[in-house]
């Protein structure tokens, strides 16, 4: 089954991310230049600057992204706004348009988009990738141990069909996205909600082939996001609790 892509959308929600956004956008630019992305005739990189009190919008524009400024204060609404802005620019039909999303505190691999498009070309309707904690900012070794024990608990070997859903590493064909109703305007969990709303006929690939590096900060920007998860693993005061020999996960 073929699913050729001619239009590519990259959507990035951002709330007060002026400091982290340059690295994220540089990594996306490297991915756009990787291997020529054969068959793709147009690309649209959009940052949704959501309720920002810093220079996020200006930084995004300086790094070549289209910017839509919103004041939702909700990751789901911001992610949806970035996608919708980009889709309005696309000339290809929905079945030939591929949407990928990541976060403003993430760094993607050069092959990230090529891997997404490879899966799309094989007929997958949605690609759910994985994450790794970035080396910076530094994360206590004990917290990494606890996170990895939790995250990789069911990984038995190569070909891991993982259980995770991350807006930081997600791809979906535009017609499937539309059928699912898009990202809901929620404060968190919009990624999982979208996947759960996909049509029953949608082909969903869960792959660890091209993980994204995400910030290990424990001062989260969004309620219920990855930063909250890490903070809870560490304990609200930032110190590890109950971590010792044989106690690497919760």
CATH numbers and ranges of domains, the chain: 7-132+153-207 (3.90.550.10)
Place of tokens 């949806």: 80
pLDDT at 247: 26
Q: Which residues contact 204 (CB under 8 A, 6 or more apart)?
A: 124, 125, 126, 127, 128, 195, 198
Confidence of residue 20 (pLDDT cuts 50, 70, 90): very high
CA-CA distances (angstroms) from residue 130 to 63, 109, 162, 167, 221? Answer: 25, 12, 8, 10, 20
Residue 201 in contact with residue 173, Cβ under 8 Å? no
Q: Reply yes or no on whether the pLDDT at 119 is more than 70.
A: yes
What angle, rounded to 10 degrees, do the helices at 226-234 and 141-151 form?
A: 120
Angle among Cα 207, 210, 213 to the nearest 5 degrees reads 120
Q: Mean pLDDT throughout 147-156?
A: 94
Percent of the chain with pLDDT over 90: 82
Q: Reply yes or no on whether the pLDDT at 55 is more than 60.
A: yes
Percent of the chain with pLDDT over 70: 93
As a whole number of angstroms, the distance between CA 48 and CA 70 comes to 7
What letter does residue 105 receive in the DSSP assignment? T
Confidence of residue 13 (pLDDT cuts 50, 70, 90): very high
Q: Reply yes or no on whether the pLDDT at 60 is more than 70.
A: yes
Confidence of residue 235 (pLDDT cuts 50, 70, 90): confident
As a whole number of angstroms, the distance between CA 35 and CA 32 comes to 8
């Amino acid at each position: 089954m073929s699913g050729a892509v001619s239009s590519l959308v990259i959507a990035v929600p951002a709330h007060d991310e002026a400091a982290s956004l340059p690295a994220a956008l540089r990594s996306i630019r490297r991915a756009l230049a990787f291997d020529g992305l054969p068959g793709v005739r147009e690309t649209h990189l959009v940052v949704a600057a959501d309720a920002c009190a810093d220079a996020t919008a200006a930084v995004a524009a300086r790094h070549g992204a289209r910017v839509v400024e919103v004041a939702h204060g909700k990751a789901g609404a911001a992610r949806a706004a970035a996608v919708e802005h980009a889709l309005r620019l696309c000339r290809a039909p929905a079945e030939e348009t591929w949407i990928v999303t990541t976060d403003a505190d993430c760094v993607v691999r050069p092959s990230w988009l090529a891997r997404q498009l490879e899966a799309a070309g094989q007929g997958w309707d949605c690609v759910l990738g994985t994450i790794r904690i970035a080396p910076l900012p530094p994360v206590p070794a004990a917290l990494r141990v606890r996170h990895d024990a939790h995250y990789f608990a069911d990984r038995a070997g190569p070909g891991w069909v993982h259980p995770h859903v991350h807006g930081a590493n997600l791809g979906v064909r535009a017609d499937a996205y539309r059928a699912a109703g898009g990202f809901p305007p929620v404060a968190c969990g919009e990624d999982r909600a979208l996947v759960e709303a996909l049509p029953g006929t949608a082909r969903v690939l869960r792959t660890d082939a091209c993980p994204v590096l995400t910030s290990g900060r424990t001062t989260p920007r969004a309620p219920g996001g990855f930063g909250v998860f890490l903070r809870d693993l560490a304990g609200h005061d930032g110190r590890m609790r109950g971590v010792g020999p044989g106690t690497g996960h919760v």
